[in-house]
């Protein structure tokens, strides 16, 4: 009994499986004498928007000053349909909600510049009388 716990703990540490998974695999091995290797799907969904698409969105934001989602979507549509830029083919059909999803997966360094004046510069400096 004591050795069984030590052995299960060792298998858990070496394999990276949880305690429950180890117990299930040991039970399967005792009943059938073999363990079947199962095929595991790595990712069930294919990636639609590439890193280049995210960079194009960032470039579009730089050029036009970080517009709203619907305006950015319309700019992507026009870049493909009106101006015939093939690079914007995938982005032409993007929904407003999905505009922000690719950027979360591929974070880019923030290069946004603000043209607004710092409000603290307009306030007079207060001194004691």
For the segment 56-77, what is each residue's pLDDT rounded down to a tens digit? 988 888 888 888 889 999 999 9
Angle, helices 19-32 vs 2-15, to 10°: value is 110
Domain coordinates in residue numbering, the chain: 2-32, 51-105
> pLDDT by residue (tens digit) across 111-120?
555 556 666 6
Structural contact between residues 11 and 21, judged by C-beta atoms closer than 8 angstroms: no
Position 46 scores a pLDDT of 79
pLDDT band at 4 (very low <50, low <70, confident <90, very high): confident
Q: Reply yes or no on whether the pLDDT at 108 is more than 60.
A: no
Residue 73: name the closest of 104, 97, 103 by CA: 97
What is the average pLDDT across 102-116?
57
Contacts with 57 (C-beta within 8 Å, 6 or more apart), sequence order:
72, 76, 91, 99, 102, 103
**Helix (DSSP H) and strand (DSSP E) numbers for the chain:** 6, 0
Position 104 scores a pLDDT of 60
> pLDDT by residue (tens digit) across 73-90?
999 999 999 999 999 999
For tokens 């073999």, what's the residue?
Answer: 34
């Amino acid at each position: 009994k004591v050795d069984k716990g030590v052995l299960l703990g060792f298998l858990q540490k070496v394999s990276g499986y949880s305690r429950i998974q180890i117990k299930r695999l040991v039970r399967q091995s005792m009943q059938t004498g073999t363990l079947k290797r199962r095929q595991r799907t790595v990712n069930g969904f294919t990636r639609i928007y590439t890193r280049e698409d995210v960079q194009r969105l960032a470039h579009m934001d730089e050029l036009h000053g970080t517009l709203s989602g619907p305006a950015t979507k319309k700019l992507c549509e026009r870049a493909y349909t009106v101006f015939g830029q093939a690079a914007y083919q995938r982005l032409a059909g993007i929904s407003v909600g999905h505009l922000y999803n690719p950027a979360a997966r591929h974070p880019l360094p923030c290069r946004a510049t603000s043209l607004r004046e710092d409000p603290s510069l307009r306030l007079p400096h207060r001194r004691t009388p």
